[in-house]
Chains A and B, each alone.
Chain A
Amino acid sequence: MVVGAGFAGLTAATELAAAGIDVTVLEARDRVGGRARGLQVSDGGWVDAGAAYLGDRHTELHSLMAGLDLKATPTAMRGASRFALGSEETTRDGRFPPLNAVALGDLFERLDELTATVRPDAPWLTPGAGELDALTAEAWAERHLAHPDARLFFPLFLGEMMAADPARVSMLHVAFYLRSGGGLRYLNAFEGGAQQDRIDGGAHQVCERLAARLGDGVRLGEPVHAVHQDDDGVTVRGPKGEYRADVAVMALPPLPADAVDHRPEPPARRTGDRTARGCAVKVHLVYPAPVWRDHGLSGWSVNARGPLLSTVDDSPAGSGVGVLTGFVTGAEAHRFAALDPGEQRSAAVGQAARLFPMLPEPVGFHVTDWVNETYSQGCYAALFGPGDWVRHGPGLTAPHLRVHWAGTETSTEFFGLMEGAVRSGRRVAAEVLARR
């Protein structure tokens, strides 16, 4: 029995089925994919409303895609960027913001130095872990960043990189996340980095194709409320009934996983009072064509004020339409999510028009609020708050009798990314097979 039909759960189920095990996957939503979701913007044109990017180091995802006949498509950007970091908008070649380069360099040097100290396989064993884990990223910035440009850029960087609000995330988690994803430079880069490619046609297709192969074994609309174990097996209960299994794999983000009624109770919880939801709202603005390109602009922008803290050209190749994806992250995501749909639209469309004055009225407008998604409780991934790694880290992958744990937050490699989810699915399948 696998609970959750995202990348982790479906990878695990696929591997278990291939080993001859009878697997059922229960999915709460009426779709598979978890934090990856496709959004159709034109006839044949799809964009990613959730997880989107991958790089060459994401080897498990690449091999999974190859087996499913899915291809990567480059995110390569051409043209100048737009920045709204001071009193007015500016245009510059490349992606480097009009901020003091030495101050940003000091920030990145400090982050790199800190990242290098992290024990990637066991962050709680990092030298000075207790002290670093007690500190929020905001407190760290107050202590270490003197220049106003570094202080301005740091929250934008954390928002873009990991959808984090600096006031809520542990600095050990920040350093770990950067290390786990391949380091500051790899994680930040499009070309040659973790954003080098998207999945042609949308990331959700990985899950749809895996689910199609599992056939009737995947059951949609079956949220799980309780997982009760006894000497002979596991009873998994939801509103539609109950299932009996030898073993259960919980392939859920840690916050929803902790909301399930487990009996007996696990020796340790997976989250605490300060574990926060990843703060990401994705906005898609659809235009008749990517008109910014005719003006030498890439569609990339970085903005000190919201709602759109950054934008990127996500126009599906060959679709004709132009799509600007706006990222609303960190504390801004909570503010934006609380607006009514009309306010969201006028704020986002208005901001896009100031950044790209050549834009006509959008022909499509979509808001995907991951912060308030019941079954994800945040995106890109859970944000470990102060004390979480030291308290919960050591038990994240430890099986609880017949219950095993998966999900990108259980992977110390590429934590928070699709790659981490796939690796966790493979790890948990191997654990379950080793029980026999």
Chain B
Amino acid sequence: MSVDTTAAAAGDPPAGPGAPAGPRAGADTEGVVAMFRRVLESEDVSADSDFFLLGGDSLVATRVLSAVARSYGVELTFEDFLGAPTPGRLAEKIADAR
């Protein structure tokens, strides 16, 4: 898994809806890590952290899905999230959906 430290340091997802699509799963993982950190108000998040084990619940999960839709132009469902509750796996879902 490549680590895009600039995106993490910026604390924001690296791409907007207008960003070029492509196989950027590594960069997306960092973007999703940043989203988890923001909504969970915790720095203790890595690519394989389980959202629900970190104390996330369904309400907070929808905020990640909203951020994913804004940043990547991809609308995932709540069930998608339940099936892929780590940044790494959610990034794969995002990549698959683009």
A interface residue numbers (CB < 8 A to B): 94-96, 101-102, 104-106, 108-109, 112, 184-185, 188-189, 192
Contact = CB atoms under 8 A, between A and B. Distances in A.
A202 B77 CA distance: 39
A104 B60 CA distance: 10
Q: Please give me the 4 A-B residue pairs with the lowest Cβ-Cβ distance, nearest first.
A: A105-B66, A105-B62, A96-B58, A101-B78
Contacts of A94: 58
B65 A185 contact: no
B4 interface: no
Contacts of A189: 57, 59
Contacts of B65: 101-102, 105
Given A108-B59, A188-B59, 19 more contacts: A95-B58, A96-B58, A101-B65, A101-B76, A101-B81, A102-B65, A104-B59, A104-B62, A105-B61, A105-B62, A105-B67, A106-B66, A108-B60, A108-B62, A108-B66, A109-B63, A109-B67, A112-B63, A185-B59
Contacts of B59: 104, 108, 184-185, 188-189
A101 B61 contact: yes
A104 B76 CA distance: 12
B55 interface: yes
Given A185-B57, A185-B60, A188-B59, A96 B66 contact: no
B69 interface: yes
A388 to B, nearest CB: 27
B75 interface: yes
Nearest to B62: A105
B66 A102 contact: yes
B94 to A, nearest CB: 13
Interface string B12-55: 00000000000000000000000000000000000000000001
Given A95-B58, A185-B57, A189-B57, A108 B63 contact: yes
A192 B54 CA distance: 12
6 contacts: A102-B62, A102-B68, A104-B59, A108-B59, A109-B66, A185-B59
A191 to B, nearest CB: 8
Nearest to A189: B57
A105 B58 contact: no
A109 B66 CA distance: 8
A192 B55 contact: yes
